[in-house]
Amino acid sequence: MKRLIIIMTALGIASGSFAVYASPKEDLKIFRAHFKKRFPKVKFKDFKDGIYALDADRRAAWLDWEDFAPPYTDSIDLGKKLFRKKLKSGKTLASCFKRGGIGIKQNFPYFDKAQGKVITLEVAINDCMVKNGEKPYKWGKGKLAAISGYMAYTSRGKKIKIKVPNDPRALAAYEQGKRFFYSKRGQLNFSCADCHVYNPGTMARGMLLSPALGQATHWPVWRRKWAKKAASKGDTGPTAGLGTIQRRYKGCNKQVRAKPFKFQSPQYRALEYFHTYMSNGLPINGPGLRQ
Ligand code: HEC
């Protein structure tokens, strides 16, 4: 409890008030230092591997799974096909992105000054669909996740570089995300930080908790749990186990019996902005594999 209070104070989150005391850069420094202290043996770059950076047996099993035909492979092929498909306008998705959309995932989400909003990669893809005369994809999984998975795949190894530009609206979005992350919610009254900042490395409901540092590097993720759920509905296709980071946010909200927010709501966009910023400097390694 004492440590919790110290960290919350250090992050400028005094009891009940969420005034801006620290800049994003200062927040990041404190955040990294916390995990370094908690896991002195884990190298900074290894935090990208979530629980597999903490537990040798689980890591070995996971590496086997990755080496031997990881189940997300077909989704990358599908994503590539959809990414290159001609849209009604005659253009492809590549036309909406810098560098033709290749190797750019590390810059998402970003704050768009013209729109005054946080733009996640999935929003950018769907905006592009609409701009080119097509219907947007459904959020959270399926084809949209396959496309963002392909884009993540082309960005593997690039270090996350989220920026909070000197614009009060960008800073407000960052602060909103930070507040979300540290606010207790749901019947169980847990914040994201309670599990992923103050208790990573311990067990919750039979699962090892991952550190928040590095949680944003490997999306979308192919999960056994999601694949099972899809299979129970007859879907064993290339995207069956795939989900975006916001699908995971919903799951973690439900775990504490809080009502999840809508995909790409201002709340989840702000959360993804803050949360991804906290993984700055770590390499993209999506799509990922998880239980
Ligand atoms: C009651 C504890 C609990 C709370 C609160 C919680 N989570 Fe989780 N979360 C888990 C568990 C358990 C897992 C699965 C094991 C793991 O990777 O941590 C998980 C997994 C995740 C993952 C996937 C990690 C990976 O490497 O793939 C992300 C991202 C995540 N949580 C984000 C959040 C966010 C953001 C919040 C707040 C909205 C939150 N969690 C709240 C328990 C929690």
pLDDT digits (tens, 9 = 90+) for 86-113: 999 999 999 999 999 999 999 999 999 9
Q: 210 CA to middle of ligand 1, Å?
A: 7
**Contacts of residue 100, Cβ cutoff 8 Å, sequence gap at least 6:** 94
pLDDT digits (tens, 9 = 90+) for 55-73: 999 999 999 999 988 999 9
**Ligand 1 atom showing the smallest separation from residue 214 Cα:** 26
Q: What is the pLDDT of residue 285?
A: 97
Note if the bond before 211 is cis, omega within 30 degrees.
no
Q: What is the pLDDT of residue 5?
A: 39
Q: What is the pLDDT of residue 22?
A: 81
Using most ligand atoms within 8 A of CB, pick from 31, 210, 263 the residue to mutate for ligand 1: 210
- As given in the structure block, the two tokens for residue 104 are 């750019």
Q: 248 CA to middle of ligand 1, Å?
A: 7
Q: Which residues line ligand 1 (CB under 6 A)?
A: 50-51, 190, 192, 194-196, 204, 207, 209-210, 215, 221, 245, 248-249, 252-253, 255-256, 271, 275, 290
Q: What is the pLDDT of residue 17?
A: 41
- Please name the residue whose Cα sits nearest to atom 3 of ligand 1: 195
**Ligand 1 atom showing the smallest separation from residue 210 Cα:** 18
Q: 76 CA to middle of ligand 1, Å?
A: 24
CA distance 145 to 218: 12
Q: What is the pLDDT of residue 205?
A: 85
Side-chain half-sphere exposure of 101, counting CA atoms within 13 A? 23
Residues (pLDDT < 50) of the chain are 1-20
Q: What is the pLDDT of residue 100?
A: 98
**Contacts of residue 11, Cβ cutoff 8 Å, sequence gap at least 6:** 22, 27, 30, 31, 178, 182
